[in-house]
């Protein structure tokens, strides 16, 4: 959900700390998510919870980047990529 309230917060964060600083935070959060996914796949205790926490952090940072870059541009690209995923699914393509 990409609400007006969230958009306002995302914009305020970018305005307060700047794009470059928030892009760095996004990098860090993505790294932490990678580690959390690894922990989850290795079935570490609290691995699912850790992954959910890090995914939420990345989600928030992605929201800020979308607000900065323009959500319409990102949504267009997402829709194009999802169309390709749907096409692959419709053609029976599977990953193991």
Residues near 88 by Cβ (< 8 Å), separated by ≥ 6? none
Can you give the pLDDT at residue 30?
98
Mean pLDDT of the chain: 94
Strand (E) or helix (H) holding 32: helix 19-41
Strand (E) or helix (H) holding 73: helix 71-90
Residue 43 has pLDDT above 70, yes or no: yes
- Report the pLDDT averaged over residues 7-14: 95
> Which residue from 79, 77, 63 is spatially nearest to 14, judged by alpha carbons?
63
pTM of the model: 0.87
DSSP-assigned letter for residue 91: T
Q: Which two tokens stand for residue 76?
A: 């267009």
Phi, psi of 42 (to 5 degrees): -85, 5
Can you give the pLDDT at residue 1?
52
Residue 85 has pLDDT above 60, yes or no: yes
Can you give the pLDDT at residue 36?
97
Q: Distance of CA 4 to CAs 11, 12, 15, 62, 63, Å? A: 10, 12, 16, 15, 12
Can you give the pLDDT at residue 5?
93
CA-based torsion, 75, 78, 82, 84: positive or negative: positive
Can you give the pLDDT at residue 3?
85
């Amino acid at each position: 959900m990409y609400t007006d309230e969230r958009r306002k917060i995302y914009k305020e964060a970018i305005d307060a700390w700047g794009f470059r600083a928030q892009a760095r935070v996004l990098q860090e959060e993505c790294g932490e998510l990678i580690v959390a996914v690894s922990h989850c796949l290795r079935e570490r205790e609290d691995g699912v919870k850790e992954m959910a926490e890090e995914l939420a952090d990345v989600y928030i940072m992605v929201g800020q980047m979308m607000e900065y870059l323009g959500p319409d541009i990102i949504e267009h690209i997402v829709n194009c990529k999802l169309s390709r995923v749907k096409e692959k699914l419709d053609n029976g393509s599977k990953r193991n």
